[in-house]
Homo-oligomer: A and B are copies of this chain.
Amino acid sequence: MVKIADVARHANVAASTVSYVLSGKRPISPEVQARVHESIRILGYHAHAGARALASKRTNIIALVIPLRTGVHVPVLMQFVTAVAARARESDYDILLLTQDEGERGLQRVQGSSLADVLIVMDVEMQDERLPLIRALSTPTVLIGFPADPDGLTCIDLDFSAAGAACLEHLASLGHKCVGLVGSPYAVYERGTGFATRVLDGIEGAAERHGITITTHPCDPNPADVQTTVRDLLGHHPDMTGLIVHNEGVVESLVHALRTFGRRVPDDMSIVAIGPNEWAERHNLTAVALPADEVGTRAVELALAQLDGKDVPAASLLAPVLTPRGSTRPST
């Protein structure tokens, strides 16, 4: 194993100089810099992560807590993860993967053993059990998602309430009077996951303002439950002409189910969705984009800013952007 002393010897400088060349924490003459870099290249030197962490109290690792629960749409989850990983690497950070099922113990372990400099926690619930611990932790933390009380926490997410409202308002502007929400899977509501609850709130608020009837129905991502959902929705409201879909896994089945009830999209039923742009494009859906890349990227940036001692906004809510596509048309 090649160590810093080897590089120092090879470049004819002190070990500390090599360290300073690498960290940039001290001005070094261009000649020495060049010599050191050259030696590093020739010898293939990499600093020992443990030794560095021990001496500097910095691991250059971000711990990312991901949910592994029913109802979480996996491709969307992975979009967050890859965005976080990519942005982290840009700043020379690595990702330590923690799973939700370790719960608070995992957080304590990471902090206790100095495994990471900062935590990013996904899939936050309105009344998340982990919040008291997270508030008490000395390790800076960024939440992707908003709990009921985000006080004292750093949170970032799409403004799901505004997103729900935007969906409803789009349908309202097209003249639709009776609208249904095909919601997330049951489990997501039962857990009180923040984004699901907020979408509902946003839609209901907007519906009230516009005098529109709104009926909501959770839905699991399988053809049978989609069929049931459509039957229930149309059974209670045969005059329903608009649907808001907040569930990435049901669209294909939904369109087919509607057809079995004689409704074609968009002629007899308009659909506005909330989900990733590529997904909406693939299905030609008018949709509010779920900007997983941006959220993940900004979560890392908030984390790094906190590490730099900058003070960061406690709440970052991204404004919804609705893109009209082929799944909506004016009500007749």
Contacts and interface: CB of A to CB of B under 8 A. Distances in A.
Interface of A: 1, 44-54, 59, 61, 64, 68, 74-75, 77-78, 81-82, 85-86, 89, 94-99, 101-102, 108-109, 112-115, 222-223, 252-253, 256, 282
B96 A97 contact: yes
A51 B108 CA distance: 18
Contacts of A96: 61, 94-97
A67 to B, nearest CB: 11
Contacts of A46: 108-109, 112-113
Given A48-B113, A95-B97, 14 more contacts: A44-B108, A49-B114, A50-B54, A50-B114, A54-B54, A68-B82, A74-B74, A85-B97, A85-B99, A86-B101, A89-B99, A94-B96, A94-B97, A94-B98
Which 9 A-B pairs rank lowest in CB-CB distance, beginning with the nearest? A46-B112, A50-B53, A46-B113, A50-B50, A50-B54, A95-B97, A74-B75, A49-B113, A97-B97
A253 B253 CA distance: 9
B114 A48 contact: yes
Nearest to A68: B82
